[in-house]
Amino acid sequence: SVEVSEGKKITFIDTPGHAAFTAMRARGARVTDIVILVVAADDGVMPQTLEAINHAKAAQVPIVVAVNKIDKNDSKPDRIKQQLSEHGLHPEEWGGETMYFNVSALKQIGIKELLEGVLLQAEVKELKSNPDKRAKGTVIEAKQDKGRGTVATILVQAGTMKVGDLFVTGAHYGRVRSMLDFHGSKVEEAGPSMPVEITGLNGVPEAGDDFFVVEDEATARRVSQSRAEKLAREERSLASGPISLEEFARRANNMAAAELNVILKADVAGSLGAVKESIEKLSTAKVKVRVLHSAVGGVNESDVQLAMASNAVIVGFGVRAEPRAMSEAEKAGIEIRFYRIIYELIDDVKKAMVGLLDPVKSEISTGRVEVRETFNVSKIGTIAGCYVLEGVVKRSSNIRVVRDSRVIYEGRLASLKRFKDDAREVQAGYECGISIERFNDLKVGDIFEIYEIKESEASLD
């Protein structure tokens, strides 16, 4: 949310540009009043650009074009205008209705003009909303937080929402327990076009679900229950043994039609929907990919049990597994694969489907550490006072920071100390001091996963 001039604010919803996030861009077009189409002056119009135009047109939302990277020597803003004109976005200077702005995010060129153009478009379209009624809006994103429970990012589109209001969203309901603005500061109320993060939900809503305040709890329960019954689906289960992507690849070559069952867990609702859709789109006449279960949060024991019962692989996107779930999966031979980059996830599933798994880097866990204290040291940064729970920590190891089952950083261990002395390694049961390269946002309770990367060829026998 940006204050352009006194009393005039613009709220932005940014959506990923990757082809997999089509649904997220479509939702973005539906909940916004104006779409800012960002096109790189050196790249030109990409398939996702045309997709975004179609989403905006389908939602009947006006488009303002920002031609970015004009500071680069090979930028050709006029070529962009020509390409977009072929898709109905005719520039004002050519007699059309679309406003174009040449900008450079790097050099801060043209940003002020762009923002003023958005405000002008809002005035021309008379974009107004009544703040004096019960709030309603849309869920932009939702996730589970260990300390706060379910947290949803809401865009209020009409009315004013206050702390204590009862509400319904999707098939869930609740009472607004707390509200944070985009800075993370507490607020007591939120008016039209204000994005806020709220707690107090009884479940995790879908990104894109509607949100509205109701009069009393009985109404909230009734509407929620009615919606839940409508959305109830039959659970599917397939009895068989555990399977890995490599094993599936072998079977795929020997069967006329094969099925790969996937259990998907992700860090936030938006990513979950995008990844699920991308996986399901990979299905072909010969190979079917089925997402049996998908949810927000870390991989837990019930996910492993479902995988055992349904012959499925577990895929985590931006999350990790609970220790007991990991242990149970290892005993049962269930494969859990973790990803942070959607390209890699899709590529691995594709390779399994065609029976071609290239040599992959395997991760070997060497230790697990808990942060019990943090210290800020000038010229060095944050040092975590740690206790080694399992295995061994070695200097310059790969390290992953996990908070509430969510991966928040991956990098390398910068220093390892026992008391004030540098240590080569620290075994389980001992305390140590750890600092991480280029990362200082450490908190008490964080878990460090220490691991090594080993390259090995995939076996096909």
pLDDT tens digit at each of 461 positions of the chain:
888 877 788 889 887 766 666 666 777 777 888 899 999 888 878 877 887 888 788 778 889 999 999 998 888 888 889 999 998 899 988 988 899 999 999 999 999 999 999 999 888 888 888 888 999 988 888 888 878 888 999 999 889 999 999 999 988 888 999 999 988 899 999 988 889 999 998 888 888 888 899 988 889 889 988 888 887 754 443 344 566 677 666 665 555 456 778 899 999 888 898 899 888 888 877 677 888 888 888 998 888 888 887 778 899 999 999 999 999 898 888 889 999 998 899 888 887 766 634 456 788 999 999 999 999 988 889 999 999 999 999 988 999 999 999 999 999 999 999 988 999 999 999 999 999 999 999 999 999 999 998 876 544 33
The Cα–Cα gap between 65 and 88 comes to: 12
Q: What is the per-residue pLDDT for 357? A: 45
- Measuring CA to CA, how many Å separate 327 from each of 299, 300, 331, 335? 12, 11, 6, 11
Q: What is the per-residue pLDDT for 21? A: 66
The one-letter amino acid at 251: R
Please list, residue by residue across 343-361, b when 16 or more beta carbons sit within 10 angstroms of its beta carbon and e when fewer do: eebbebbebbbebebeebe
Structure tokens at 296: 């927000």
pTM score: 0.55
Say how far residue 227 (Cα) sits from the centre of its chain.
Answer: 25
Phi, psi dihedral angles at 204 (to 5 degrees) = -95, 115
Give the closest residue to 414 by CA, choosing from 429, 397, 430: 397
Q: What is the per-residue pLDDT for 457? A: 57
The Cα–Cα gap between 342 and 357 comes to: 17
Q: What is the per-residue pLDDT for 237? A: 36
Q: What is the per-residue pLDDT for 46? A: 82
